[in-house]
Amino acid sequence: MKKSKDSKKEENRRAAYNITGVAGEYFVAAELSRRGWIAAMTIKNTPNIDVIATTPDGRRTLNIQVKTRSIGNRQGWILNKGIETLVPGDNFYIAFVDLKGKDEKPDYFLIPKNLFAKWIAKRHQEWLIAPGRAGRAHVDNPIRAFDRPQFNIFEKYHNNWDI
């Protein structure tokens, strides 16, 4: 059976999306390794954890969920409602990776998971309450966004690997 042009296009789009995500995971693992951590990527589809890192003495372990922004995306990260889920412990982080351009080093936001989860849940509730276009109420949906206007809120986590 021959694939339609649309299905091939969708297949290519999904492949590019997956490659972007994996690139971000490798960049995070590499940066942690450069800083003396032992870092390993998890098997695909491991819930909430893409990279696990530990200190060489084993006293500290990090669980990191990686969200990667592609080179062409200048807006931000589109997330789903699951990003609001709180986790036990203070060793969970979200690494937002901005691939920027082919000849540029990526930018990172390494934010404690529960801090970000609480912030984005609050932000979504504020959005629901605020009037939408023509004063209409917003309709709840699973989409959450972390985009340019919010970057300054987390500036202290921008390229900060002191975790």
* Within a domain: 39: yes
Tell me if 28 is assigned to some domain: yes
Would residue 31 count as lying in a domain? yes
Cα–Cα distance, 142 to 124 (Å, whole number): 10
Domain, as residue range, for 104:
5-157
Q: What is the pLDDT of residue 86?
A: 97
CATH number at residue 137: 3.40.1350.10
Q: How confident is the model at residue 74 (pLDDT cuts 50, 70, 90)?
A: confident
Q: What is the DSSP letter of 29?
A: H
Q: CA 97 to CA 129: how far, in whole Å?
A: 30
Mean pLDDT of the chain: 90
Structure-token pair, residue 140? 């709840």
Q: What gap in Å lies between CA 116 and CA 126, rounded to an integer?
A: 15
Which parts of the chain fold into alpha helices (H)? 5-34, 113-129, 148-151
* Structure-token pair, residue 52: 């696990």
Number of domains forming the structure of the chain: 1
Convert the pLDDT of each residue in 78-112 to its tens digit. Answer: 999 999 999 999 999 999 999 988 899 999 999 99
Q: Is the pLDDT of residue 8 over 80?
A: no
Q: Does some domain include residue 117?
A: yes
Please determine, for residue 16, whether its predicted confidence score (pLDDT) is greater than 90: no
pLDDT for 15 beyond 60 = no
Q: Tell me, what's the pLDDT at 88?
A: 93
pLDDT, greater one: 34 or 14: 34
Residue 163 lies in a domain: no
Residue 107, φ and ψ in degrees, nearest 5: -105, 150
* Whole-number Å distance between alpha carbons of 153 and 115: 12
Tell me the pLDDT band of 9, cut-offs 50, 70 and 90. Answer: low
Tell me what pLDDT residue 126 has: 95
pLDDT band for 19, please (50, 70, 90 cuts).
confident
128-150 pLDDT per residue, tens: 999 999 999 999 999 999 987 88
Is residue 100 included in any domain, yes or no? yes
Residue 162, domain member (yes or no): no
pLDDT at 119 over 60: yes
Q: How many CB atoms lie within 10 A of CB 128?
A: 13
Cα 39 from Cα 62, distance rounded (Å): 9
